[in-house]
Amino acid sequence: MLTSSRFFKLCLLLSGILLLAANPAHSDPVLDGLIDEALKNNPEIQASQARLEAARLRIPQSGSLPDPMFMFGYQNETFDRYTYGEMQGSQWMFSATQQFLFPGKRRLKEEMTTQDAESLEAMHELLKLKTMSRVKELYLDLFLAYKNIDQLKDKRELINRIESLTLSRYAAGKAMQLDVIMTQTEKYMLMEKEEMTQQKIQSLKAMLSSTIGRYKGPALPRPSEPLYQPFPLEFNAALDMAMQQSPELKSRNKMIEAANTRLAMAQKEFYPDFALSGGYFNRTGEFPDMWSATATINIPLYFQSKQRPAVMEAKVNIHQASHELEATRLMIEAALRDNYSMLRSSERLIDLYQKGLLPKSRQDIEQALTGYSTGRMEAVSIMSRLKTLLDYESLYWGQRVEREKAIARLQAITAEQTFGEGKR
């Protein structure tokens, strides 16, 4: 027979070892390895890196001179015969032309492509931060799913024992049939939850493998218990850090710089470009060779329908980029406030579970076991109290995971991977 003392010890074993103090964390080598693998193999990061390299290669192209033009041809007098060397106007002609942009245009073009590349570089860094955060969140969700499986298995084992005990008491006429039915129903509900959690584990593994870019690689290991990470920053300090370091804001600022450069370039288009040409005319006999030098300029004659609207378009683009920068600031502040609130709320709930609900639930089970041993309480009441304890423990671990996920998102928002002493 299951005694009060043995039953209570088993309940304590089920509750697990809770972290009652926040110790500085050490790096999780499994998680670090997954993050490194994601930064190396994630397809989105690889595509972003290729876009960045292509943008950098456009910088020297934009500042280069237009290709020179070489012309060669022959001029003949009369249509009935070849008159080279016989007629004065018959000659072979050769010329070269080089176009030059109005001073300052090449520099502005190079600045535009440089700023575009710097904007892409900042977005590439943002993508890496978001990928790291995504890996951490999936890793933590996978840990919680495994933890829930463990709790469900332990709880099912206890319910099997309670079922056996309830059947014995029912056979002896000391328990009602309803107690047996309720116990068995609870057991089948646990089996359903366990199967659904197993499916969730497979889904999380698939998403994590996709994020790290692993295809037909080794199986993902079971995550270890999340490490407690300190977060000493107050909200305003974290917000200041985000505004200073956010790659997304850096990208938006570069877009504004590029828009201003495009405005300067559009204003330069009111000034003409020019081309220089040199020619050589080869003649024979008594006719001397000739040469020529010419300059050609384009006339911005249609500035009302071309250059002026281009300037207005550039100004509108500056306004657009400025509003997008402000929208990004507001979005970052909202996301930071949301995750900071979630972090602090999780810390308060963790403290509540550790110091209040879990100890009180254990005391409640102990009192219920005492009542059961004297015949004043049914097994279903004990099972109900045990369910409450395990639910609180599940909620505790859920808050532990939510806290670490909030920190992962805060690290991505602030572009800061080190808070306090413990971290990667």
Q: What is the pLDDT of residues 63-78, one digit of tens each?
A: 999 999 999 999 999 8
Q: What is the pLDDT of residues 146-159, one digit of tens each?
A: 998 888 887 777 77
94/235 same-domain check: no
185/214 same-domain check: yes
Name the nearest CA neighbour of 419 among 338, 329, 343, 350: 343
Q: What is the pLDDT of residue 21?
A: 34
The pLDDT-based confidence of 192 (bands split at 50, 70, 90) is confident
Higher pLDDT, 317 or 381: 317
- Listed residues 285, 303, 321: the one ending a domain: 303
Contact between 248 and 328 under an 8 Å Cβ cutoff? The reply is yes
In a domain, 223, yes or no: yes
In a domain, 423, yes or no: no
Identify the residue whose tokens are 């300190």: 230
What DSSP state is assigned to residue 23?
A: P
List CB contacts of 234: < 8 A, sequence separation 6 or more.
Answer: none
The two tokens of residue 307 are 């250059």
Identify the residue whose tokens are 């009192």: 367
Q: Interhelix angle for 307-352 vs 235-245, to 10°?
A: 150
289/217 same-domain check: no
- For the residues 381-392, what does the mean pLDDT come to? 78
Q: What is the pLDDT of residue 294?
A: 95
278/148 same-domain check: no
346/237 same-domain check: yes
Supply the range of the domain harboring residue 78. Answer: 66-100+272-303
Q: What is the pLDDT of residue 376?
A: 67
Give how far Cα 291 sits from Cα of 91, 132, 278, 280, 406, Å: 12, 67, 7, 4, 76
Q: What is the pLDDT of residue 22?
A: 36
The pLDDT-based confidence of 20 (bands split at 50, 70, 90) is very low
24/106 same-domain check: yes
Rg of the Cα atoms in the chain: 38
155/292 same-domain check: no
In a domain, 278, yes or no: yes
Q: Give the CATH number, domain containing residue 127.
A: 1.20.1600.10
List CB contacts of 257: < 8 A, sequence separation 6 or more.
Answer: 115
Mean pLDDT of the chain: 85
71/44 same-domain check: no
Q: What is the pLDDT of residue 228?
A: 81
In a domain, 286, yes or no: yes
In this model, does residue 226 exceed pLDDT 90? no
- Listed residues 281, 303, 325: the one ending a domain: 303
pTM score, whole prediction: 0.81
Distance from C-alpha of 119 to C-alpha of 251, rounded to nearest angstrom: 4
Number of separate domains in the chain = 2
Q: What is the pLDDT of residue 375?
A: 60
Q: What is the pLDDT of residue 284?
A: 82
**196-200 LR contacts (CB < 8 Å, sep 24+):** 197/145, 197/148, 197/149, 197/152, 198/149, 200/145
141/226 same-domain check: yes
Contact between 118 and 254 under an 8 Å Cβ cutoff? The reply is yes
In a domain, 296, yes or no: yes
- For the residues 68-95, what does the mean pLDDT come to? 91
In a domain, 174, yes or no: yes
Q: What is the pLDDT of residue 424?
A: 37
Spacing of C-alpha 124 from chain mean position = 10
| Phi and psi torsions of 278, nearest 5° | -130, 135
Distance from C-alpha of 128 to C-alpha of 124, rounded to nearest angstrom: 6
The two tokens of residue 88 are 């004065």
The pLDDT-based confidence of 101 (bands split at 50, 70, 90) is very high
In a domain, 337, yes or no: yes
149/295 same-domain check: no
231/83 same-domain check: no
In a domain, 387, yes or no: yes
Q: What is the pLDDT of residues 315-367, one digit of tens each?
A: 999 999 999 999 999 999 999 999 999 999 999 999 999 888 888 887 887 77
Q: What is the pLDDT of residues 197-213, one digit of tens each?
A: 899 999 999 999 999 99
Identify the residue whose tokens are 């928002």: 413
Q: Which of 191-205, 265-279, 355-369 has the highest mean pLDDT?
A: 265-279
Contact between 29 and 207 under an 8 Å Cβ cutoff? The reply is no
329/230 same-domain check: yes
